[in-house]
Amino acid sequence: MTTRVILLTGASGRIGRTFFAASQNRYRFILTDRREPDYAIPVPHRFVVADLSQPDTAATLLAEEPVDTVIHLAGIPDAQASFDDLLPANILSTTWLLKAAAEHRCRRLVFASSAQTIEGYPKDVQIHPGMAVSPANLYGVTKCYGEALCAFYATQHGLSSVALRIGAFEPALDNRQHTARDYSAWLSPDDAVRLLSGAVEAENIAFFIGYGISDNRFKRFDLTQTREVLGYTPSDNAFRTFRPGELDY
């Protein structure tokens, strides 16, 4: 079977380096970010410094060789970020990347969306598939835009797209600094790898919004559909792993 070639953006970030470390023997990667990674990149993988907010950058990357899947993790994950910062990093980069992926006939694009798309709902409300977006900040708004753009390219241009609403990705949690909401939205590194692998490998998807949290005892998202469509089988549980005591709800 031919090894999939994956263009992974945001490769110097926490999720990017985690997925590459776990999957480098399964896929062949073209890694890209605006800054050099602080980890080794063995052959046959390669890294390219790139600013995806420039109109031709993504097209140039995808023109070098056929790419099966684009995993778009790059962007500013900051709920306090200004629109001036979010525009190039989260809007323009996503716009040019999806356009290039469709034009170069990539099989699939996996978009790192965010739990911030629904943070306008009360903290004690579990989010189910089909509920309207409710961002509580401009960062969440940019992720809503990305999801809509994925839907557009899926339905109008045939680019299979999976948007993943990622929760609180952290290798470890400090009980003194986190709330019950953080535990309900926790995504462990191992489960992040399982989620992204499922998003890459799942078949017969035009457009799908999945949810990126672990198998926490209390869940911010209903994972039923994500399990079914992506074959996602999370195994970690924040409430078991970290055994939080008194929490700020």
In the predicted structure, residue 249 carries a pLDDT above the cut 60: no
Does 249 map to a domain? no
Total count of domains within the chain: 1
Does 53 map to a domain? yes
Does 56 map to a domain? yes
**pLDDT computed for residue 246 by the predictor:** 47
Extract the tokens encoding 194: 């399982």
Residue 230 lies in domain: 5-241
Q: Write out pLDDT tens, residues 222-242.
A: 999 999 999 999 999 998 888
DSSP result, 103-150: HTT-SEEEEEEEGGGSTTS-TTPPB-TTPPP--SSHHHHHHHHHHHHH
**pLDDT computed for residue 93 by the predictor:** 98
Q: Mean per-residue pLDDT for 32-57?
A: 96
Does 248 map to a domain? no
Does 247 map to a domain? no
Q: Token pair 């998003």 is at which residue?
A: 199
Cβ pair 147, 155 in contact under 8 A: no
- What whole-number percentage of the chain has pLDDT above 90? 88
Task: Give 244 or 183, the one with higher predicted confidence.
Answer: 183
Q: Write out pLDDT tens, residues 144-191.
A: 999 999 999 999 999 999 999 999 998 876 655 577 888 999 999 999
CATH number at residue 130: 3.40.50.720
Q: What is the pTM of this model?
A: 0.95
Does 192 map to a domain? yes
Burial 86-106 (b: 16+ CB within 10 A, else e): bbebbbbbbbbbbbbbbebeb
Q: Mean per-residue pLDDT for 78-86?
A: 95
The pLDDT mean for the chain works out to: 94
Task: Give 190 or 244, the one with higher predicted confidence.
Answer: 190
Does 92 map to a domain? yes
At CA 120, angle to CA 241 and CA 233, rounded to 5?
Answer: 35
**For the chain, first and last CA: distance in Å?**
49
User: Within 13 Å and on the Cβ side, how many CA atoms surround 101?
Assistant: 31
Q: Mean per-residue pLDDT for 107-130?
A: 96
Q: How far is CA 99 from the centre of its chain?
A: 18
Does 72 map to a domain? yes
In the predicted structure, residue 46 carries a pLDDT above the cut 70: yes
pLDDT band at 244 (very low <50, low <70, confident <90, very high): low
